Structure 1
Amino acid sequence: MPFVVTENCIKCKHTDCVEVCPVDCFHEGPNFLVIDPDECIDCTLCEPECPVGAIFPEDDVPAGQEGFVALNAELSRSWPVLTVRKDPPEDAGQWDGVPDKLQYLER
């Protein structure tokens, strides 16, 4: 069961999770990260590293966030792999917990 990056990552895009991933399953977009479900080995290392609580096991994705399962799969096919930690956006703290951020997702 792969892990899924959900809505709270949009415009926060912390990359602490990337550093601990042993299989390089994270892919980076302009303002969001996704996990390739075919590469994820369910090691659980990324979930506690996310400072905004945006990563969940596929079976535990919060209600209303189920569409992010397919979105992670879709975007991981076209976005590049990210293997190193980067600084988050300067305004990341202002976006943590903001509802309805899907409208701000940049592809």
Structure 2
Amino acid sequence: MTFVVTDNCVRCKYTDCVEVCPVDCFYEGPNFLVIHPDECIDCALCEPECPAEAIFAEDELPDDQQEYMEINRELADIWPNITEKKDALPDHEEWDGVKGKLQYLER
């Protein structure tokens, strides 16, 4: 099983989760993070660290967030690995909690 980064990370990109990951399975895009499903060891350390509550266990992924499973897999293969915490995006507070942000995901 793996953990999945979902919609609320888009345009926020908090990186608190990256800092606690023991296997460095996070990958960074312009305005979103993803978890590589083949590298995640299901330790669950990242989930409570996400200020946006955008990380879910695969088996607890909400129905309206299912497409993010494939998005995480696809983008983790092409984006660079991130292993250290960085500042969130400048306008993260305006975007945290906004629903339906997939259209804003920059690949």
TM-score, normalised with respect to structure 2? 0.99
Structure 2 matches for 1:40-51, cutoff 5 A?
40-51=40-51
Which runs of no fewer than 5 residues in structure 2 stay unpaired?
A: none
**2:77 match:** 77
Question: What displacement does 1:39 show?
Answer: 0.3
Structure 2 matches for 1:18-97, cutoff 5 A?
18-97=18-97
Question: What displacement does 1:42 show?
Answer: 0.3
Matching residue's letter, 1:19:
E
**1:12 match:** 12
TM-score, normalised with respect to structure 1? 0.99
Question: What displacement does 1:58 show?
Answer: 0.5
Identity within the alignment, % = 65
2:105 matched to 1:105? Answer: yes
Deviations 1:19-75 (A, max 9, x none): 000000000000000000000000000000000100000011112100000110000
Figure out how many residues of one structure are paired with residues of the other and give that number.
107
Which runs of no fewer than 5 residues in structure 1 stay unpaired?
A: none
Matching residue's letter, 1:85:
K
Q: Runs (4+) of structure 1 moved beyond 6 Å? A: none
Give distance in 2, aligned partners of 1:69 and 1:25.
14
Give distance in 1, aligned partners of 2:100 and 2:72.
17
Matching residue's letter, 2:74:
E
Give distance in 1, aligned partners of 2:61 and 2:21.
19
